């Protein structure tokens, strides 16, 4: 069976296996007890101890001991995701936010300094801007990471971590990962210690962009989004070196306890098998919707890195894993109307659902920006409110007709 042969993308001959083959086979295998060709779902909190358990390290995550120390469904998924991200190892946790907080709390100590993008998912912002400084004495600097010189200027002798998110939620600002990595390596030489570059790759998924190939040290994904793809399970992953995943397991997983449930790990493993097919559809449909919206003459702006006029377009193109990859399924836009006009538009949508999240099979829309605590950090055109639209897997013609129909019904 191919799954038993697959190791880090190599196979039965010298030709590397393709992305879809790996999403299907890595981490899968034949169940030794039943012969089932799918990994079973193992719901057990505890595992049988040996005759003499006195040598056991109760904080170990390498052996089946207790589910919070690690469990089989988590490990199957970790193997697959490490492979897809091009990492030595990965740790799967309870949510994307658990992956973010695990990274920050494992690799930052009080007195350390971290630099982070001024546009990130809200929990990353709150952790780095407020919670870690106030509770743990970690100093942080928020910078416009699309400006590499601003990142360079913010790094100092105490800096241990640079965290970026690209494209950023919710404005779609693009950061040049390779350029920031070069700045970080330069600072390491200057200050004589390691500085980690972590990248939240949730909006891309590893089908579109692989930050580790571009020089990042750590890649974080909310598995809740594209990698699961079906809007029915929360999860998060950190992919990096084995030395670092060991530390994350020891410090965060076992002691803070943000473990993923076996069922969610199983669901995400199943969903991820179709990641390439789904990403191709998300990429193509989002580009078609962005172009359609731009052509309507009823929008104040459309932000999507796949559009040639997006300020980060060239950088976004340079980061793609292959010419087959794209710019993800999320775009932001504002209609040429007032507050109520935006609500009226949403109330007439039938195919697109009014709800938060992204990377689901169904298209989701949410109105943001007007009373956001970070409103002043957004570029001016975002400050009067805008939609974040996460394009799903429906037929793109139905999505386009839904938009046109809702605009007409709302009188926009």
Binding residues for ligand PLP, rule: CB under 6 A, are 95-97, 121, 165, 169, 200, 202-203, 222, 224, 234, 236
Task: Using DSSP, state whether 295 is helix, strand or coil.
Answer: helix
Q: Which two structure tokens, joined as six digits, stand for 391? A: 């394009």
> Could you tell me the CA-to-CA distances from 235 to 200, 222, 268, 349, 398 in Å, in that order?
14, 6, 8, 29, 30
Q: Which is nearer to ligand PLP, 3 or 382 (CB)?
A: 382
Q: Please, which residue, 24 or 214, has the CB nearer to ligand PLP?
A: 214
Please give the Cα distance from 332 to 341 (Å, whole number).
Answer: 16
Task: Report strand pairing: 139-143 vs 113-117.
Answer: parallel
Q: What is the CA radius of gyration of the chain?
A: 22
**C-alpha torsion 389→236→116→279, nearest 10:** -40
Of residues 317 and 355, the one with the C-beta less far from ligand PLP: 355
Q: Which is nearer to ligand PLP, 83 or 200 (CB)?
A: 200
Triad 92, 97, 102: Cα angle to 5°: 60
CB of 93 to ligand PLP, least distance (A): 9
DSSP string, 302-347: EE-TTSTTSTTHHHHHHHBSSTT----SEEEEEESS-HHHHHHHHH
**Residue 6 or residue 97: which is nearer to ligand PLP going by CB?**
97
Q: How far is the CB of 208 from ligand PLP (least distance, A)?
A: 14
| Residue of minimal Cβ distance to ligand PLP | 96
CA–CA dist 394, 258 (Å, integer): 33
Strands 139-143, 196-200: pairing is unpaired
Give the nearer residue to ligand PLP in terms of CB position, either 187 or 234: 234
Residue closer to ligand PLP by CB (options 20, 357) is 357
Write the CA distances from 271 to 159, 230, 268, integer angstroms. 38, 7, 5
Query: Least separation, in Å, of the C-beta of 373 and ligand PLP?
Result: 16
H or E stretch including 164? Answer: strand 159-165
Min. distance of Cβ 218 from ligand PLP in angstroms? 13
For the CB of residue 202, give the shortest distance to ligand PLP in the complex, in Å. Answer: 4
Question: How far apart are CB 315 and ligand PLP at their closest, in Å?
Answer: 18
- In 3D space, the residue among 361, 371, 306, 351 whose CA is nearest the CA of residue 332 turns out to be 306
Asked whether the bond before 331 is cis by omega within 30 degrees of 0, the reply is: no
Identity of the residue, 95 or 103, whose beta carbon is nearer to ligand PLP in the bound complex? 95
Q: How far is the CB of 170 from ligand PLP (least distance, A)?
A: 8
CB of 169 to ligand PLP, least distance (A): 4
Query: Which C-beta is closer to ligand PLP: that of 236 or that of 326?
Result: 236
CB of 95 to ligand PLP, least distance (A): 3
């Amino acid at each position: 069976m191919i799954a038993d042969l697959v190791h880090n993308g190599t196979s039965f001959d010298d030709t590397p296996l393709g992305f879809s083959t790996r999403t299907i086979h890595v981490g899968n295998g034949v169940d030794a007890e039943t012969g089932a060709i799918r990994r079973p779902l193992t719901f057990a909190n505890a595992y049988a101890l040996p005759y003499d358990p006195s040598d056991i390290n109760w904080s170990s995550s390498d052996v089946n001991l207790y589910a919070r120390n690690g469990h089989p469904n988590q490990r199957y998924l970790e193997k697959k995701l490490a492979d897809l991200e091009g990492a030595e190892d990965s740790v799967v946790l309870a949510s994307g936010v658990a992956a973010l907080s695990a990274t920050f709390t494992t690799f930052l100590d009080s007195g350390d300094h971290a630099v982070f993008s001024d546009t990130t998912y809200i929990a990353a912002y709150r952790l780095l801007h407020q919670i870690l400084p106030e509770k743990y004495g970690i100093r942080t600097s928020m910078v416009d990471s699309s400006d590499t010189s601003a990142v360079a200027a913010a790094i100092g002798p105490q800096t241990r971590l640079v965290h970026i998110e690209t494209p950023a939620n919710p404005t779609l600002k693009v950061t040049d990962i390779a350029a920031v990595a070069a700045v970080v390596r330069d600072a390491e030489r200057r200050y004589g210690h390691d500085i980690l570059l972590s990248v939240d790759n949730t909006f891309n998924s590893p089908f579109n962009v692989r930050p580790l190939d571009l020089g990042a040290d750590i890649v974080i994904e909310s598995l809740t989004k594209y990698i699961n793809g079906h809007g029915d399970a929360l999860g998060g992953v950190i992919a990096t070196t084995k030395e670092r995943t060991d530390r994350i397991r020891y410090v965060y997983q076992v002691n803070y306890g943000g473990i993923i449930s076996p069922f969610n790990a199983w669901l995400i493993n199943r969903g991820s098998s179709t990641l390439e097919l789904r990403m191709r559809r998300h990429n193509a449909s989002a580009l078609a919707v962005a172009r359609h919206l731009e052509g309507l003459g009823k929008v104040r702006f459309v932000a999507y890195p796949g559009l040639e006029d997006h300020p980060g377009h060239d950088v976004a193109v340079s980061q793609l894993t292959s010419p087959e990859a794209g710019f993800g399924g999320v775009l932001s836009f504002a209609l040429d109307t007032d507050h109520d006009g935006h609500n009226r538009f949403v109330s007439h949508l039938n195919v697109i659902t009014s709800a938060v999240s992204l990377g689901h099979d169904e298209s989701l829309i949410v109105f943001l920006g007007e009373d956001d605590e970070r409103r002043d950090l957004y570029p001016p055109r975002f400050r009067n409110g805008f939609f974040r639209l996460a394009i799903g897997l429906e037929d793109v013609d139905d999505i386009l007709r839904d938009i046109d129909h809702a605009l007409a019904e709302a009188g926009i």
